A and B are shown apart, each in its own frame.
Chain A
């Protein structure tokens, strides 16, 4: 079915009860042409009357041998298409003009033999340039003289290899599997690299604006507008599932903030008011969590727990850090995800069944830590997928282990995780203790996107209590609010106070759909998203 609206009034003018087209285009205002190129040797073309509507007026005709459709455009009121066909090792770009009132074969108005190339074909009706894109290479030719204008090996594999010429013919762009957009500019000497744009949001498709000032991308749940600039716009981390978010912790008096990117090793300690750098600590670890307790910062990488002394005030040699007294092995091998409670009295970890094996013995090392710091490590959690070979309906468990005497771990509780939260194939990306340490937040997801969150209550004796939230409205959680009730909604452009008055406008790149991308420390909002080179701290 094809629906046609009057764009100004929004009224549906016609409903064409016809088989759908993969691609449709207007031929003037009276006809719509639908193209179906289901395979490389056949393109089906239907021409419909736009306003009369219900049936194809001009019938349906199929033509074989057109090859791949590269572009279609209006030329002096007639629709033209460019297709490439390859036969006997030769390649021809053919321009045809569709005659809506005639059932004769559509005339060929141009035929351009070009050197054969593999890849997906695109065409610019403005420049008469053709592109052939494979996963590993892009080639652009001038079809009128077969001159090669660009031949470039892909620095990253091209995504669904497809190139796009801008409507004005000035640019050409390809998306990569790494979610970059490479843009080349059409110059008299050929195509030259113009910019590499790294969108912050995942995209499935994109298109140039008519004047090639912007690129619009669309993807899972988001559209974004990108400015076409003549330089590379780097973003250190564009895949966004929270697994490389920034970790932020603060001193008890909130004068210092320490931050590190999850999975990296250099901790930065800042003055929380001025943002000035106080200390930099290269831990040499792939950090999973950090916490400040009095004058030390505790670090875990899911394998060891280590602390470093913090220096008071501004330090001249910010890289000079002294290791503390704690340097202990928690587990025989790193667990994928671990988290420290705010006073470092507890550690939670998540891992699949296999990675949990053999950890019990090493836990006997914990008393050394207790003896040294007079602290109690009592809680260990394990996300346990009992049978990962069973897809979809496998049940995930949260197991809670307690070590009252810090020598012999024992299972004290098991909780079945909401199947929506822990779908098969998803991992636990993040665990976070609430400030009052009565709740735990678990984020699950896959490599490209976070899926759900689960918030659990902990009882007085550290058993798993009720499920507080299972991702239905995570923004309603108490940790989404500052101590004064300031809050920011999912995707919202405003931070608002407790009376819903607007306090601060957030630029598009600072907005987030995920509540675990923000953290309130007192009345400071911290945007943790890993797409930013550093955490964004806003004082209210």
Chain B
């Protein structure tokens, strides 16, 4: 027994259909970044990079374009655990999910970066007005108070329960 889905044949059965659905979800999640820029990337980029073991590759391999550039070796055998990554300016930091799961707030330094939870792209930056505090720290350090403005990075980050407010604590007493 088979179920027809447009031009492909998916073997029926709860497990197979569930697996296929999971694979399709994984496909969209993995390649959301490039597909969201242009739908033809489904064929140009995404299908070409699908792991060998993926049901999506088995179902749609005939529709993979053979363009240049072409991946000669290195197509993964299975899905990678990492679905998105991004570079940040500093070495240590904090990150917290919004209660709704629609945003990720990341603090690497003073300012807060609000990022997309699927692609980790920056959506906005919340500026932290800390210049006065850091200047004061530097002034104190010049008179011998052992404080280092460079080390004064954020310590805790949290959303309000309704997701409307975001708070960050810094190691300045004023």
Measuring CB to CB, which residues of chain A are less than 8 angstroms from any residue of chain B?
1-8, 10, 12-13, 15, 17-26, 28-29, 32, 34, 50, 74, 197-201, 204-205, 207-211, 214, 216, 218, 220-227, 229, 233, 235, 270, 272-275, 490-491, 493, 495, 503-505, 507-509, 511, 513, 524-525, 527, 532, 534-540
Contacts and interface: CB of A to CB of B under 8 A. Distances in A.
Contacts of B169: 1-2, 20-21, 24, 34
Nearest to B112: A5
B88 interface: yes
Contacts of A235: 81
Interface stretch (B4-12, B121-129, B138-146): B121-129
B136 to A, nearest CB: 11
A225 B34 CA distance: 16
Given A5-B112, A197-B81, A209 B101 contact: yes
A201 B98 CA distance: 23
Contact of A223 (B31, B83, B88, B129): B88
Contact of A29 (B31, B34, B74, B162): B162
A508 B82 contact: yes
Contact of B68 (A204, A275, A540): A540
A507 B93 CA distance: 24
B64 to A, nearest CB: 14
Given A1-B133, A18-B173, A227-B29, A6 B87 contact: no
Given A207-B95, A222-B85, A227-B79, A26 B167 contact: yes
Contacts of B33: 493, 505, 508
Contacts, number: 235
Interface of B: 26, 29-31, 33-34, 41, 45, 49, 68-74, 78-101, 103-104, 106, 108, 112, 114-115, 117-118, 120, 124-130, 133, 155-174
A208 B97 CA distance: 8
Given A3-B128, A13-B165, A25-B158, A227 B81 contact: yes
B169 to A, nearest CB: 5
A279 to B, nearest CB: 15
A197 B79 CA distance: 12
A200 B80 contact: yes
Contact of A508 (B85, B108, B114, B165): B85
A50 B159 CA distance: 12
13 contacts: A7-B166, A12-B129, A20-B155, A20-B169, A222-B85, A224-B85, A225-B84, A226-B83, A229-B79, A233-B80, A527-B74, A535-B73, A537-B73
| Most chain B beta-carbon contacts within 10 A, residue among A225, A235, A270, A525 | A225
Given A539-B70, A540-B68, 12 more contacts: A7-B114, A8-B164, A20-B170, A23-B156, A200-B82, A209-B101, A210-B101, A504-B45, A509-B82, A535-B73, A538-B74, A540-B69
A508 B74 CA distance: 14
A201 B45 CA distance: 23
A505 B34 contact: yes
Please list the 7 inter-chain residue pairs (A to B) with the smallest Cβ-Cβ separation, ordered nearest first: A536-B74, A233-B81, A224-B85, A537-B72, A26-B160, A210-B101, A225-B84
Contact of A222 (B34, B73, B88): B88
A220 B85 contact: no
B96 A537 contact: no
Contact of A3 (B34, B49, B106, B168): B168
A64 B157 CA distance: 25
Contacts of B98: 7, 210
Given A3-B168, A29-B164, A223-B88, A272 B72 contact: yes
B123 to A, nearest CB: 11
B85 A511 contact: yes
A533 B51 CA distance: 13
Contacts of B41: 505
A236 to B, nearest CB: 12
Nearest to A507: B49
Contacts of A222: 85-88
A207 B159 CA distance: 14
B151 to A, nearest CB: 13
A199 B167 contact: no
Contacts of B173: 1, 17-20
Contacts of A221: 87-91
Contacts of A1: 130, 133, 169-170, 172-174
Contacts of A197: 81
